Amino acid sequence: MTTRSNEAWLNDLRSTGPEHEIALGELRGIIQNGLPYALSRWLSPTDPLFQPLVEEVTQDTLLRVLDQLDTFEGRSLFTTWVHKIAVRIALTELRRKRWRDSSLDELTDNEDAPPPPGLLADPQASPEISAERTDMLARIRRILDEELTNKQREALVLLGLQDLPMDEAAKRMKTNRNALYKLLHDARLRLKRRLALEDLTPQDVLTAFEHR
């Protein structure tokens, strides 16, 4: 594997040619090699949940890195910066696993349907909090329905909710891994812009569903 400078990483990841695909593949390997040690304090690599988590975190990290390349200030090695992003994403995922009980289809197909039980199940929630969550869920449904293309929604279902490996999802969608990364990257940007217009942050959405 080629040793890259910070500048080389940035240039190759910003390019649209074969350099981009090579850099993305190398960065993927670096992330996956570093996660077992970084997460061993919280989750054993022998745990059945570990490998799916690594795959999920890797794809999310690559998307986040591509989205935030302009924020890298060069105060550390580029790979160190990426590793910190990966660990933060992994720990966030470990805290919000209960979201896996929900279905994006249920969230977007029928606004009048009751919310998925796995998403709002909290018998200790007050009526006020339950109402707040129901309202937030309706807003999420509307945003997803209005902002995402059918392909983007399909990608989110396959990767975010059905836990398919990236290669399998790409095969089902009759595309390739890098095109799928681009599809998800564009979806994230659209959702990010829409949330800003709605005066919402991703953290606002997550906080609404935390046990209080």
pLDDT tens for 138-169 read 777 777 778 888 888 888 777 766 667 788 88
What mean pLDDT comes out for the span 177-201? 81
Do 32 and 81 share a domain, yes or no?
yes
Cα separation, 115 vs 118, whole angstroms: 9
Do 52 and 78 share a domain, yes or no?
yes
Cα separation, 108 vs 147, whole angstroms: 11
194 pLDDT band, cuts 50/70/90, is confident
Q: Structurally, how many domains does the chain consist of?
A: 2
* pLDDT surpasses 90 at 178: no
pTM: 0.50
Do 71 and 12 share a domain, yes or no?
yes
Do 60 and 118 share a domain, yes or no?
no
What mean pLDDT comes out for the span 117-126? 47
Do 59 and 128 share a domain, yes or no?
no
On whether the CB atoms of residues 176 and 170 are closer than 8 A, the answer is yes
On whether the CB atoms of residues 188 and 67 are closer than 8 A, the answer is yes
Do 139 and 41 share a domain, yes or no?
no
pLDDT of residue 120: 42
Contacts for 23 with CB less than 8 Å, ≥ 6 apart: 4, 9, 12, 13, 15
* pLDDT surpasses 60 at 107: no
Choose the final residue of a domain: 70, 95, 120.
Answer: 95
Ramachandran sector of residue 116 (left: φ over 0; alpha: ψ -120 to 50; beta: rest): beta
Mean pLDDT across the chain: 76
Do 73 and 152 share a domain, yes or no?
no
Contacts for 106 with CB less than 8 Å, ≥ 6 apart: 113, 115, 116
pLDDT of residue 130: 63
Give domain status of residue 149, yes or no.
yes
Give domain status of residue 140, yes or no.
yes
On whether the CB atoms of residues 169 and 59 are closer than 8 A, the answer is no
What mean pLDDT comes out for the span 81-97? 81
* Residue keyed to tokens 């089902």: 172
By residue range, what is the domain housing residue 89? 6-95
pLDDT of residue 129: 61
Choose the final residue of a domain: 95, 121, 148.
Answer: 95
Lowest mean pLDDT among 29-38, 51-60, 100-109: 100-109
Do 140 and 66 share a domain, yes or no?
no
Of 182 and 9, which is predicted with more confidence?
9
* pLDDT surpasses 90 at 9: yes
| Residue 161 to residues 2, 68, 83, 117, 184, Cα–Cα distance (Å) | 35, 24, 24, 15, 14
Picking from 37, 41, 40, 33, the residue whose alpha carbon sits closest to that of residue 58 is 33
Cα separation, 209 vs 212, whole angstroms: 9
pLDDT of residue 118: 42
Both tokens of 19, joined, read: 């350099």
Of 212 and 72, which is predicted with more confidence?
72
On whether the CB atoms of residues 171 and 96 are closer than 8 A, the answer is no
